[in-house]
Chain A
Amino acid sequence: MLRNTPIPAVEIRDVTLNYFTPERETLALSNISLDVAKGEFIALVGSSGCGKSTLLTLVSGLMPASRGSIKVDGLEVTAPSPQVGFMFQKDTLLDWRSIVDNVMLGAELLGLDRRRARQRAETLLTRYGLGEFMHSLPHQLSGGMRQRAALARTLCCEPDLLLLDEPFSALDYQTRLALSNEIAAILQAEGKTVILVTHDIGEAISMADRVIVMSRRPGRIKSEHHISFPSFGGKRPTPFEARKCPEFAQYFQTIWDELDLHEVH
């Protein structure tokens, strides 16, 4: 699935991060190098505290790396950019704003054209089945609907790269499966480059083209798995279909063994 393009969408080179607290210095990430091709969907998995979310924060430009370089579309990352969209574990909708006003938050903060943003917000919300809730307040929506509204907010500024930080883990199991299916379809249709951070191996395998396994602190890249489903005829199955393919169970077993989860404690 990895397409060879001259400039990768994301280029991470020898990135190291040290955290300082009054008690100690922590090496959170150590010599991470990773390329993500345009339109590729990669998943970072690892046990909690392996620094996978931290790596996402570095790519977003909110925090500089201690060493190494991160480029998005060939340009060094120094600050957050509207080209990069971010989704959190929680929907982080603002309770006091209607859904459509929440979706327009990015455009408002970036000082973009409000009329265009509003049109796009309304289009996205209608497409995601939230048309009749546009003027509702977040507390009137279910968890899955709120997270879809958060996706609309992220896509409203038309980012090329999406960083998803465990965006499904706060949802109940059924909603999580349904929503990951839906969001994978949306992102694939829009041809976005995606980096998904998750601790859910099944979610990673079913959604991503490539799964990166990270070791425990200091976070390093332990292994990579290109995910393909020959039994599905070479096409990209939806996450739902992927879970039913025989390859799914094999990938799951391999990655499970690599994660060393039994060593936790």
Chain B
Amino acid sequence: MSSEAIADTKIAAKGAAPSGRSAAYEAYLRALRWRSWSISLWQIGLIAAFLVIWEVAPRAGWINPMLTSYPSAVARTFMAGASDGSLLMHTWVTLFETIVGFAGGMVLGLLCAIALWWSDYLYRVLDPFIVVLNAIPKIALVPIFYIWLGDAASIYAMAIAVSVFVTVLMLFTGFKAIDPDKIKLARLFGASKRQILDKIVLPGSVPTIISALKVNVGLALVGVVVGEFQAAKAGLGYLITYGSQIFQMNLVMTAIVVLAAISTALFVVIQAIESTVLRRHGVSR
């Protein structure tokens, strides 16, 4: 905005074009527009090329169609699933589990991070365990969760397990990074620990909390799909295992395409939340 204003004053000084912009500035804007157009063109071109190769290669006999299916077959499967509602049902199951697991991981992670911030002693005691738990590949726990918790609960447990430790570490690091002078300021005004948490640490950590949201929404989806591989009777993870067992690659591919759409949609939602919240929150960009 300000650079436009500067450009405008420069032109006024030169007394140029009727539009109020100099020819050089017009050319600059044209180049800028062309650049962003050409980037979009490349992106669309790459997708188109991928789809064409995927369609042509199996048909021409370069690769075995049993292994890859074709975009047209995937589209047919997608339409069939969409019209009889079964695909919608599986999508909804996965989406619901993801949102619940995501919220659970966030809330649990936030509570644990607050507890660790509250008591440094507790943090010292638990620190090595958290680091180790974070490092364990959570996917290894799927069978155990299935045996302990049954088919429904094990999926939520998986989504939470995948996201919670990262959340704790991210949020705790964020809490600790709050300017100590701001905490000192609050203490000078007689603030209790609870007040420091409410008025300084939590509001000051909003950008960190949003970064954690962004990381977690993807992780929760990973947890749900892996959980569904083992346990589910519905959901996109189930469709993938089922499709591969009966060698229906178009079913598998359809489920993957829908998963990609879900994760993009969730990410876009979080990003929209991020930009509104951060603007209101006084983060200059």
Contact = CB atoms under 8 A, between A and B. Distances in A.
Given A79-B190, A96-B204, A109-B195, A137 B282 contact: yes
Interface stretch (A41-49, A69-77, A86-94, A226-234): A86-94
Nearest to B195: A109
Given A82-B190, A110-B189, A92 B182 contact: yes
Contact of A105 (B181, B187, B199, B281): B199
A101 to B, nearest CB: 11
A109 B186 contact: yes
A205 to B, nearest CB: 27
Interface string B42-63: 0000000000000000000000
A241 interface: no
Interface in B257-285: 280-284
Given A92-B181, A94-B204, A62 B282 contact: no
Tell me the interface secondary structure of chain B in the complex.
helix
B179 A80 contact: no
Contacts of B190: 79-82, 109-110
Nearest to B180: A92
A138 interface: yes
Given A88-B181, A90-B181, A95 B283 contact: yes
B41 to A, nearest CB: 37
A96 B284 contact: no
Given A62-B184, A90-B181, A109 B284 contact: no
Interface in A175-190: none
A106 B189 contact: yes
Contacts of A88: 181, 184-185
Q: Which range contains the number of A residues in contact with the other chain?
A: 20 to 34
Contacts of A108: 199
B182 to A, nearest CB: 5
Nearest to A90: B181
B131 to A, nearest CB: 22
Contacts of B186: 105, 109
Interface in B122-173: none
B189 A96 contact: no
B199 A92 contact: no
B103 interface: no
B198 to A, nearest CB: 10
Contacts of A90: 179, 181
A55 interface: no
A139 interface: yes
Q: Nearest 7 CB-CB pairs, A to B?
A: A137-B282, A139-B284, A95-B282, A109-B189, A106-B189, A96-B281, A109-B191
Interface of B: 179, 181-182, 184-191, 195, 199-200, 203-204, 206, 280-284
29 contacts: A60-B188, A62-B187, A62-B188, A80-B187, A80-B189, A81-B190, A84-B188, A86-B188, A88-B184, A90-B179, A92-B179, A94-B182, A94-B199, A94-B203, A94-B204, A95-B204, A95-B281, A95-B282, A96-B203, A96-B204, A96-B281, A96-B282, A97-B282, A105-B186, A109-B199, A110-B189, A110-B190, A137-B282, A138-B282
Given A88-B185, A94-B200, A95-B282, 6 more contacts: A80-B187, A82-B189, A92-B185, A96-B206, A96-B280, A109-B190
